[in-house]
Structure 1
Amino acid sequence: MSIEMNDSNATKFVNWIIEKGVDGISPLSSANDLALEYKIDQGYENDDERVDSLINWETSKNFTSGFITGLGGIITLPISIPSALGASWVIQARMAGAIAHIYGHDLHEDRVRTLVLLSLLGDAGKEVIKSAGIKFVQKITEKTISKISGKALTEINKKIGFRLITKAGEKGIVNLTKFVPVAGGMVGGTFDAVACRMVGRTAKNLFAISSGSSLT
């Protein structure tokens, strides 16, 4: 599969992921609405428990056989990559956005949306931050991102787009095992649920720490 690698495609793709994942795409509700389902439930002792439950449920519900293939069949991607792969990133972004909202972050803020995108890369997000000339000590947090200019945020988003497109175009789905969050095994519509869980844990790490919540 050949995908033209340019700034326009990279920016277009990450904007599409955020729009569909955070703002919602039928039959999926928005990330805010998903988060509210957990915030109004008083059965949880704290937000960490809410997020853990969200990750567990979304992993088991959304990545059952045929779900991604079905969603991929109704979405229109802005670039030429496998529709099931695009659908998986949309679902992961929705989950990461819901986690951000549970921890009190505003999903309309550009910096928060950048963190949602970074969660899709896992540890590779640190490399993107470094490549943009941003220094950090151990963890990428909203405090770190808050010091970045709007222009730099745009550049980071673009680099995330390049990462995703490159992996989709050059490695193919099966060979993405070493790239977080996509892990092998998308065969016959079945997505490796471990990948979804990895994105969820990364998002929890980013948004809980930046909101001051304690992690176990």
Structure 2
Amino acid sequence: MTELTVREHDESKAQAVVSNVLAVSIKGKGPFKSAQMIADEHLARHGDVEKAVQKVIATHTRLVGMSGFATGLGGLLTLPITVPTDVGVFYMQASRCAAAVAHLRGYDLDSDEVRSIVAMTTLGASGVAIAAEFGVDLGTRAAVAALKKVPGRVLIDINKKVGFRLVTKAGTTGVVNLTKLVPLVGGGVGSSVNVVGMRSIGRYATRNFPVA
């Protein structure tokens, strides 16, 4: 393939990673509950939005800390997300956690802008840096409004940048370059690192989706 064709292939792969994972984490699939369902269940159980937010984060932290946390997700493990299964599932859990926090705090999960912020949230500081490249300051309610003012192509470019943080070329398949991701983790790293990673994502979620 020519250099341009390779670049286009990589961009397509990066965008597919984000699109597929966000679709499942926000809308749910099979036994994997949607972000709204998880959020509503916690709100009904605890009766307070901020307590529900903290419990959502705690629940996802516990899930990724469990041995074999990918077990039981059935068809999710065959999704064409072009990253190793354990990392892909961690990213889905992280995205769902961030999306559930957004929903609890009144953000519209059907909004492309909100979904882009969810994706950037899972990258922690790297996500904040990506937003800054496009003149968007995450951590304020104005961030969604700012993203609404940019052309649709810009949102696509933002999602591609998120995808590129997850996927690097290794022959003909995509792998995750964990040394460049904070706080994403993957296979062979251990549940304690998964826990630290999810807690960090939870903190970014509460920051990037502030209370009105």
If the length of structure 2 is used for normalisation, what is the TM-score? 0.81
Q: What CA distance in whole angstroms lies between the structure 2 residues aligned with 1:86 and 1:117? A: 13
More helix by proportion, 1 or 2?
2
Query: Are the structure 2 counterparts of residues 159 and 67 from structure 1 closer, same or farther at C-alpha, using a change threshold of 3 Å?
Result: same
Percentage identity across aligned positions? 34
Structure 1 residue 96, shift from structure 2 partner: 0.9
Structure 1 residue 201, shift from structure 2 partner: 1.1
Counterpart residue number, 2:3: none
Q: Within 5 A, what are the aligned runs for 1:51-70?
A: 51-68=53-70
Counterpart residue number, 2:188: 187
If the length of structure 1 is used for normalisation, what is the TM-score? 0.80
On the 8 A contact 1:77/1:86 being kept in 2, the answer is no
Gaps in structure 2 of 5+ consecutive residues: 1-5
What root-mean-square deviation, in Å, do the aligned CA atoms of Structure 1 and Structure 2 show? 2.7
Query: Are the structure 2 counterparts of residues 136 and 7 from structure 1 closer, same or farther at C-alpha, using a change threshold of 3 Å?
Result: closer
Deviations 1:179-210, CA, capped at 9 Å, x for gaps: 222146x43874621111111111111112xx
Q: Within 5 A, what are the aligned runs for 1:1-216?
A: 6-44=10-48, 47-68=49-70, 71=73, 74-131=76-133, 134-136=134-136, 139=139, 141-166=143-168, 169=175, 171=177, 176=178, 179-183=181-185, 186-187=187-188, 190=191, 192-208=194-210, 211-212=211-212
SS at match of 1:65: coil
On the 8 A contact 2:57/2:202 being kept in 1, the answer is yes
On the 8 A contact 1:55/1:200 being kept in 2, the answer is yes
Gaps in structure 1 of 5+ consecutive residues: none
Q: Aligned pairs, how many?
A: 199
SS at match of 2:123: coil
